[in-house]
Amino acid sequence: MFDLVLKGGTVVNTGSMGVADVAIAGGKIAALGQALRGREERDVSGKLVFPGGIETHCHIAQESATGAMTADDYRTGSISAAFGGNTTFVPFAAQHRGQAIPEVLETYDARAAPNAVIDYSYHLIVTDPTEAALSRDLPAAFARGITSFKVFLTYDKMIVSDQQFLDILVMARAHGGLTMVHAENNAMIAWMTRRLVERGYTAPRHHAASHPAAAEVEAVRRGIALASFVEAPLLFVHISTDAGARAIATARMAGHAILGETCPQYLFLTADDLNRPGAEGAKYICSPPLRDDATQTDLWRHLHAGTLELYSSDHAPYRFDAGGKLSAGPNPPFHRTANGMPGIELRLPLLFSEGVRTGRISLERFVALSAANAARIFGMADRKGAIAPGYDADIAVWDPEKRVTVTAAGLHDAMDYTPFEGRVLTGWPVTVINRGRVVVDDGALKGQPGDGVFVARNPFDARGFLPTRAAELSPERNFGAELL
Ligand code: DUC
Ligand code: ZN
Ligand code: ZN
């Protein structure tokens, strides 16, 4: 007799799909089969039974470098994630310059542990790679299961130099860490911004030109060159251009451990959204910026081809008020407007409605993009990202026919707008279960703040990638010098 049996749904994993009962016991998936019996049984026939979504790019209870705080904390952020079909999320723990890593983690532990309704981990953001950080604090963070972190190649208060980037890549490589990078060329952005602002082009629509596609492409190519030079894995987050994705694909074809992510805003919105009347366009300012229709088509192709294995919300919730987007006034110039938009709850409904329902992607690829790839890349694939005996009972039951008109009021984040207001989506998560606990059921929250637990993640699995180390770093080719 199991604790709970989901009866008769279509269970979807990355490599298989079929009607089965799913039995849960002790927070784990205990069995898949027919006619399984439980103390509680739920008929989910006609529904899709997916692994719970794993959201690996979101900004929760995070201060930006300019001091703005995200609207969502770990309570509202995790609730919104759960209503969107997610059972694990991995926000950022951001180091600002001058802060020590242990202090950063202590701060985020206090923010997350009492508040998360679903499981969580963090990626560290590293802006100050001091000797202590590189030799002591980051290795200690890896040892407690924080095995990924992000660096920036732009933003004056966040940027790391190429030398610092190399130091970080080598340190990560030594400890099984995965470096994530925001790849845009800082000088090109600063130069374009100066010229636009000097000429009075400060409306939100000019944000797109201020972060040209070429800035992403240059930084992606440089990142690949540096990571391959020292044979370190590198993940490019929020890829927004075809040429950036093609550079990643070329590196992958050569066997390099180079990975890519894109986000809903680059698939479902364009720079035309920045040109809405008044200050409305400020709602659509994010970096990298929204591009165009042709790029959307290209990015879908890269999702198909497997160039981009991660699809994440980049939920960066700044409200449309003086504490958020309008902190520089009611008509803020683009370069003084907080970067980012919300989307944690709509990430998966958008992908299902616009991807699966339209025939662009299969159900199995939906599972890959919603959970399985993230579990593998971020060191959780032994517990999460599949519906299989022994795995955590992290499950999202979807009604593939449910139609929802998106409104900000209907979402569960702490935001006062959604960039997807008025969209009609078909397919919606109706029951969300995290380690056997029902968190969301039929539109109602059942989970409690603090129910989510920290997920200590495994090192990045670099097996299967080819050696890329530069000849000058190989002792057998450089007269025996050990440099890595
Ligand atoms: N990078 C992100 O990942 N999110 C918001 C803004 C940014 O620069
Ligand atoms: Zn970024
Ligand atoms: Zn982000």
Q: How far is the CA of 55 from the centre of ligand 3 (A)?
A: 12
**Contact 285 CB / ligand 1 (< 6 Å):** no
Alpha carbons 378 and 257: distance in angstroms, whole number: 13
Residue 115 Cβ < 6 Å to ligand 1: no
- Which of 56, 238, 283, 335 has the most ligand 1 atoms within 8 A of CB, as the residue to mutate? 238
Structural tokens at position 362: 């299969």
pLDDT at 3 over 90: yes
Residue to mutate, 182, 193, 211, 283, ligand 1, most ligand atoms under 8 Å from C-beta: 182
Mean pLDDT across the chain: 97
Reported as a single tens digit per residue, the pLDDT across 101-118 is: 999 999 999 999 999 999
| H-run or E-run covering 224 | helix 213-229
Q: Are 170 and 232 in contact (CB under 8 A)?
A: yes
Q: Give yes or no for residue 182 CB within 6 A of ligand 1.
A: yes
CATH superfamily of 52-370: Metal-dependent hydrolases (3.20.20.140)
Of the bound ligands, which one is closest to the alpha carbon of residue 287? 1
Using pLDDT thresholds of 50, 70 and 90, give the confidence band for residue 285.
Answer: very high
Q: How far apart, in whole angstroms, are the C-alpha atoms of residue 418 and residue 181?
A: 26
Calculate the alpha carbon distances from 287 to 69, 103, 207, 300, 480 in Å.
17, 28, 9, 19, 44
Q: State what percent of residues in the chain have pLDDT above 90.
A: 98
| pLDDT digits 0-9 by tens, 16-56 | 999 999 999 999 999 999 999 999 999 999 999 999 999 99
In short, whether 315's Cβ falls inside 6 Å of ligand 1 is: no
What pLDDT, on a 0 to 100 scale, did the predictor assign at position 65? 84
Residue 203 has pLDDT above 90, yes or no: yes
Q: What is the pLDDT of residue 63?
A: 95
Domain ranges of the chain: 52-370
Residue nearest ligand 1's atom 8 by CA = 287
Ligand 1 atom at shortest distance from the alpha carbon of 150: 3
Q: Is 368 exposed, middle or buried (0-12, 13-18, 19+ CB in 10 A)?
A: buried
pLDDT band at 408 (very low <50, low <70, confident <90, very high): very high
pLDDT of residue 67: 83
What pLDDT was estimated at residue 161? 98
The CA 182 to ligand 1 mean position distance, Å, reads 7
- In the reported structure, the alpha carbon of residue 437 is separated from the centroid of ligand 1 by a whole-number distance in angstroms of 32
Residues 325-350 have a mean pLDDT of 97
CA-nearest residue for atom 5, ligand 1, is 340
Taking only Cα atoms into account, the Rg of the chain, rounded to an integer number of angstroms, comes to 22
Contact 125, 95 (CB under 8 A): yes
**349 CB-near residues (< 8 Å, 6+ apart):** 84, 85, 404, 425, 427, 428, 429
Residue 66's pLDDT is 82
pLDDT at 273 over 90: yes
Ligand 1 pocket check for 288: Cβ under 6 Å: no
Q: Is there an atom of ligand 1 within 6 Å of 119 CB?
A: no
Ligand that lies nearest to the alpha carbon of residue 314, given by its number in the listed order: 3
The answer, yes or no, to whether any atom of ligand 1 lies below 6 A from the CB of 314, is yes
Answer whether 0.95 is exceeded by the pTM: yes
How far, in Å, is the centroid of ligand 1 from the Cα of 55?
A: 15
The reply to whether ligand 1 has any atom less than 6 angstroms from the CB of 184 is no
